[in-house]
């Protein structure tokens, strides 16, 4: 079945460092990948979309890459802040819908 896989272990980093989260896809080739932020008890918030013909996309302190050879997307937050602490969800485009990963919890320590 089509799958989006994210590291289920929490990522702990120090304030000011770059956080890098990984998303892998299996059994299909998504035309695009999306990244969302989710805070506890809230709905996800859309951050970035990258298409398969784009290698990299940036938005302020965020950067996302799409490697069709490795079947992977990397999501980077530079100069991380405690306010960036949240769960980050990766989602892959499928026919008329998105397939979501389980998310990675990021904790930025002051």
Partner 1 sequence: DGGITQSPKYLFRKEGQNVTLSCEQNLNHDAMYWYRQDPGQGLRLIYYSQIVNDFQKGDIAEGYSVSREKKESFPLTVTSAQKNPTAFYLCASSMTANYGYTFGSGTRLTVV
Q: Summarize as ranges the residues that interact with partner 1 (CB under 8 A).
A: 4, 8, 31-32, 34, 36, 41-46, 49, 89, 91, 93, 95-103
For residue 54 the two structure tokens come to: 């784009």
């Amino acid at each position: 079945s089509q799958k989006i896989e994210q590291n289920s272990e929490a990522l702990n980093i120090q304030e000011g460092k770059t956080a890098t989260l990984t998303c892998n896809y299996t059994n299909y080739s998504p035309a695009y990948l999306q990244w969302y932020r989710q805070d506890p008890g809230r709905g996800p918030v859309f951050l970035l979309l990258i298409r398969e013909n784009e290698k990299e996309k940036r938005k302020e302190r965020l950067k996302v890459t799409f490697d069709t050879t490795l079947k992977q997307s990397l999501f980077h937050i530079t100069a991380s802040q405690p306010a960036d602490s949240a769960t980050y969800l990766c989602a892959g485009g499928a026919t008329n819908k998105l397939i979501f990963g389980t998310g990675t919890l990021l904790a930025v320590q002051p």
